[in-house]
Structure 1
Amino acid sequence: MKRLIIALTFSLLAGCGTSSSANFAEEDYKMMSEANNQFAFDLFNELLKIKEAENIFFSPTSVHLALALAYNGAKTETKQEMGAVLHVNQYEVEETNRAYASFLNKMNSDDGYATVNIANSIWIRNGYPFLESFLNTTEDYYGAEVHSVDFMDPKTKDEINEWVEDATNKKIKDMVQQIKPNTVSYLLNAIYFKGEWKTPFDEKQTYIDTFTLANKQTKPHPFMSQYGKFDYLETNGFQAISLPYANDEMSMIVVLPREGKSLKEFYSQLTAAQWDSWLNDFSKKEGSLQLPKFEMEFEATLNDPLINLGMPLAFSGQADFRAMVEGGGIAIDEVRHKSYIVVNEKGTEAAAATSIAMTESAAMDTFTMTVNRPFFYAIVDNASGTILFLGEMDNPVYVE
């Protein structure tokens, strides 16, 4: 069996962690869903270009939502670039926010068979001039928790990481690894999903067989097996199957290139419009499925992919986030994404988190000096310039 592409399709998405207090129409979420899916395939193609591991798994929804928080703080060309990447430039910001609010509201569900939990939070430096209008918008439309913190306190990193762990059922850990001295904010999204198959695989039917890697090497691997009637699609290039979760509102789509065909050929056709077209062509068909069990983690820094997609200003000294902070002067320093998934006989558990670190753009040339090797030093009188003491330190000793 060849490598395959797997996508979680959320027909009715849910998020227990975040709710919106804003006004919106029930169907507003459709606009956000379309923008999200266009962004999903854009970012996927960029990740393919830079992938360091064999496998890719990420949540475009998590990245899209985190960037939407930052987008609300952007102005002028920075806003235009971000809006184009997010596929929302054709809408007013208010329309976009209503769509996100509707989307998050629609995702609220935990019926015992499938759970999706989406949470947003904003962590801001104590006393920094964040605009109340920005904070209110992110709270009202995105349900974002706002935390005012001291980024120089080592406990702050732990608090942020604990928030991510709690929002992802402990699946995403150590989201923030180091906080820079000029950090003014972290914008965070976390998403957690757990769903039981509508028709679970029988563990007794799981067997070991051969999986063929992209380089044609083979390895033994456990395969789940099931016979039944599925939503199924065949083309000249691939087979595809839809596996519903127990609530029938979500499903996993698995696409397998035909023998002699590659995922690269499939990706060359993959767009949001084509994806929708394929989904409409699925029909019920009886057959057997053998699907590998798997579990994986993935992480990536998304600066370069997002810059390549067309939003370089947001990362530069010319970034305009005056709708977030009085006077602006800040930029995106890093967009980081981590994800996890396990697929077995019972169902699927998946989680992802996206962090956007905002720093003072004027301070982007700041240095770090760690005196961890032999050094020279002097004690001087500043007024006269007189050197009172000189020294070289090769082996520091300090007795408490």
Structure 2
Amino acid sequence: MTVFTRSLVLGLVTLLTACGAEPAREEPPSPVPVTQQVPPGAAEAVAAADGFGLDLLTAPALASRTNLVLSPVSVSIAVQMVGAGAAGETAAQIRKVLRLPGDGPPVPPVAGHEDLKVSNTAWIQRGLGIKPGYRDALRSRFGAATSEEDFVAEPGAARDRINRTVADQTEGRIPDLFPETSITGDTRLVLANALYLKVPWAREFPRDRTVDAPFTRADGSTVTVPMMRTEPEVQLGYAEGPGYQAVTLPYRGGRLAFTVIVPAAIDTLRGKGIAALLSEIRPATVELAMPRFTARSALDLSAPLKEAGMPAAFGPAADFSGITDEARLRIASVQHKTFVQVDEEGTEAAAATGVDARAVSAELPRTVTVDRPFLFVITDTATGAPLFLGRIGDPAA
């Protein structure tokens, strides 16, 4: 049995729409499909979200972070909500950075269900005349709930109410999306997307098989982490290619899965693509050891998005004329916070993105040990849309 000991490991968490009855705890889970096929109608939007997520994960402005968790879908949806009112070069740059195809509605095809909550909200300055077409886009394309706030008179109170709403949408995992002073009297529009999921494994990792084991960081130093281990010779999903192995663990109900790829140089993933790699997964007998971990990130994505090619949206010449004629708007910040916890029982993950728009002034058993820095991505595998991306350099941090 082979243990990969390369310096970078990628974990992918894959999500499909949950359905069907839960299997009884005392019985082993029935076989579940482990391959992913992106529906033809969703292929362009999924490819855009895949590429955009990998661009963010490798952004120079974020390169120094040991652990980095992102939700490409959340960021894309939030920026698309403000981008629906953009025009000219501002709109062109947004579409290019988000890798949006053509001129059609490119929102990633992600729908909420019992295991995944998706929420879009918009807060508008009281009395600001928003164009009917933009209001319609928020409602029809994004399903966004809208409300009014008085940012001019009470920016702090408005920020508190927005943060409480996002906290409720993420079960308290993202309690303060907008930090202090991030909402000001110049704010005219705030747009937010929130994602929350909590799902148990189809077959839990036995707690008595979790043992402390070394995890080697990228710099060669080691840290001791709790290493979860599956039962011997469990049937899981498996794929391999030149220099990598991939293992898929289903979640309860058979419609959700977590995939770990060992090792995973980002260039390899870019070349193959997330959806293509997941489509190669097939049933096999696997023995897996993987660290238990919790990771959080709090980011202002303004710099990465500017560097990626959309500086116009943040500058004084920003063109959001499709939103209102009563104020010239620009993006002041794109706040993004995430939480992911993986343990013996399953996975809990939350993400929120807020945009502040201001006025201008089966063969032999395989053994896979995840004991090196790794990346992970949470995707909706009914469509392949990436919900979260992360880089874990130290699970004990």
TM over 0.5: yes
Is 1:320–1:328's contact at 8 Å kept on the other side of the alignment? no
Q: Which residue of 1 aligns with 2:73?
A: 61
Of stretches 34-43 and 181-190 in structure 1, the one that deviates more from structure 2 is 34-43
| 1:84 CA drift (Å) | 1.3
Is 1:37–1:272's contact at 8 Å kept on the other side of the alignment? no
Q: Which residue of 2 aligns with 1:126?
A: 126
| 1:78 CA drift (Å) | 0.8
Q: Which residue of 2 aligns with 1:255?
A: 261
TM-score w.r.t. length of structure 1: 0.78
Secondary structure of 2:344 counterpart:
coil
RMSD of equivalent CA atoms: 2.1
| 1:131 CA drift (Å) | 1.4
Structure 1 segment 38-187 matched on structure 2, within 5 A: 38-46=51-59, 49-92=61-104, 95-96=105-106, 103-104=109-110, 107-110=111-114, 115-151=115-151, 152-153=153-154, 154-177=156-179, 178=181, 179-187=183-191
Structure 1 segment 186-225 matched on structure 2, within 5 A: 186-225=190-229
For 2:296 and 2:283, the matched residues in 1 are separated by 33
Secondary structure of 1:271 counterpart:
helix
For 2:271 and 2:190, the matched residues in 1 are separated by 30
For 1:13 and 1:131, the matched residues in 2 are separated by 38
For 2:112 and 2:118, the matched residues in 1 are separated by 9
Which residue of 2, 5, 8 corresponds with 2:13? Answer: 8
Larger radius of gyration: 1
For 1:277 and 1:118, the matched residues in 2 are separated by 25
TM-score w.r.t. length of structure 2: 0.78
Q: Which residue of 1 aligns with 2:250?
A: 244
| 1:244 CA drift (Å) | 1.6
Instruction: Count the aligned residue pairs.
Output: 331
| 1:253 CA drift (Å) | 1.8
Highest RCO, 1 vs 2 (Cα 8 Å, sep ≥ 6): 2
Secondary structure of 2:159 counterpart:
helix
Q: Which residue of 2 aligns with 1:382?
A: none
For 2:102 and 2:40, the matched residues in 1 are separated by 18
Q: Which residue of 1 aligns with 2:315?
A: 316
**What per-residue deviation string (whole Å, max 9, x for no partner) do you get for residues 104-143 of structure 1?**
4xx2321xxxx10010111111112221221121012211
Is 2:195–2:351's contact at 8 Å kept on the other side of the alignment? yes
Q: Percent identity?
A: 27
Secondary structure of 1:270 counterpart:
helix
Of stretches 207-216 and 146-155 in structure 1, the one that deviates more from structure 2 is 146-155
Q: Which residue of 2 aligns with 1:370?
A: none
Q: Which residue of 2 aligns with 1:368?
A: none
| 1:352 CA drift (Å) | 0.5
Is 1:38–1:272's contact at 8 Å kept on the other side of the alignment? no
Q: Which residue of 2 aligns with 1:390?
A: none
Is 1:59–1:339's contact at 8 Å kept on the other side of the alignment? yes
Is 2:313–2:319's contact at 8 Å kept on the other side of the alignment? yes
